[in-house]
Amino acid sequence: MTGGAGFVGSHIAAALLESGARVRVIDDLSTGHRENLDEIGGSIDFIEGSLADEGALRRALEDVELVFHEAAIPSVPRSVADPRATHVACVDATFELLLAAKERGVRRVIYAASSSAYGDQPVLPKVEEMRPDPLSPYAVAKLVGEYYCRVFTRVYGLETLALRYFNVFGPRQDPTSQYSGVISRFIAALLMGETPVIFGDGEQSRDFTYVANVARANLNAAETTQGIGQVINVANGERTTLNELLEILKRLTGRADAQADYREPRAGDVRDSQADNRLAKEALNYQTLVGLEEGLQRTIDWWKQSRYAQPNA
C-alpha cells in the first residue's frame, strides 16, 4: 500500500495484518510517521521512498496483488498555498502508480478519493452520480486520480475502485499542523487548555466518519465484485456542524468552559457535506461499526496517551 505510515493508511495496514495478509508499505514520510506503523506492531515490509522515485515504486509493487493507494498531500488549505506540490503528490503520483501497477500485473488498485470532489453542490446528501464541482487544487487533483482509475479499468482492464472518503477521524490523525483535520485540532486544543479555532461561523457541516469504518470498507473493496471502475462514497451518511461537534467534544473532554475563536472562512472549503452511502452499503457492505460519539471518545483516549500529549512533542 502507499501512504501506509499516514493516518488512514496505518489503520488499513492494521486491518490487513489482522486478516492475515502480508503488507508492504511505501511512504516518503512527508506527512506520515514511522511511529504510526510501530504503534500497530506486526511485520510490515517498509520502503521509505516516494512514488515519484521509479526504482522505489518498482520495488514496492514486486509480487503485489492488491494496492491500497493512500499517499497524497491531503489538505485543502495546503493545496491553496502550494498547488504544484499537491499536483505532483496527487495527480502525477497516482498516474505513475497506475501505470506501474498495470505493467506489473497488479490485480486491483483501491484509491482514496475525496468528498471534496462534490464542492458546494446545493443538494444533500451527495450522490455519486452528481457532477463534480471541485473548489480547490486539492479537490481537482483527487478528482483527476479518480478519472485515471476509471480509465485504467476501461482501457487496460486494471481493476480499480475509488472510495470517496468524507471527513475521516480517529487515532493517529496528526493534530500538530494548521492543515490537520478539525477533530484532531479541536481535541488537541481542548486537552491542552487552548482555544479551539473555527474558520467561519461554525455552522458548516461535515459527515464525520470514524477511521475503522473506512479501513473495513477498504478491505471489503478488495473482495467485492461490484463497483469496479466506479466511485463509491464512504461515510456514515450523517451531518454534524462544527459548532455541534465542538459541544460534544467539550462534554467528552470536561472542558464545558471552552469558547471557540471564530476566524475568517478559509478559501476552498465547502459549506456542507453529507454522503448518500447506499452504494457503499450495497457494493462494500459498508456499516457504521463505530459511530460519531464512540469514535470521538476513542480518539480522545488515544490522544491522552499519545506522543502529542507529551510536553515538547
Residues interacting with ligand NAD, by CB under 6 A?
A: 2-3, 5-9, 26-32, 50-52, 70-74, 89, 93, 112, 114, 142, 165, 167-168, 181
- In this complex, which beta carbon is closest to ligand NAD, that of residue 88 or of residue 248? 88
What phi and psi, each to the nearest 5 degrees, are found at residue 214?
A: -70, -40
How many residues are there in the chain?
313
Q: Measured between alpha carbons, how far is 21 from 14 in angstroms, rounded to an integer?
A: 10
Least Cβ distance, residue 254 to ligand NAD (angstroms): 26
Q: Measured between alpha carbons, how far is 194 from 13 in angstroms, rounded to an integer?
A: 33
- In this complex, which beta carbon is closest to ligand NAD, that of residue 26 or of residue 67? 26
Least Cβ distance, residue 180 to ligand NAD (angstroms): 9
- In this complex, which beta carbon is closest to ligand NAD, that of residue 30 or of residue 287? 30
Q: Measured between alpha carbons, how far is 7 from 170 in angstroms, rounded to an integer?
A: 8
C-alpha cell at 125: 446528501
- In this complex, which beta carbon is closest to ligand NAD, that of residue 93 or of residue 249? 93
- In this complex, which beta carbon is closest to ligand NAD, that of residue 50 or of residue 205? 50
Q: Which residue has the cell 462514497?
A: 233
Cβ-contact 275, 126 below 8 angstroms: yes
Least Cβ distance, residue 181 to ligand NAD (angstroms): 5
Cβ-contact 90, 142 below 8 angstroms: yes
Least Cβ distance, residue 193 to ligand NAD (angstroms): 26
Least Cβ distance, residue 121 to ligand NAD (angstroms): 16
C-alpha cell at 38: 510501530
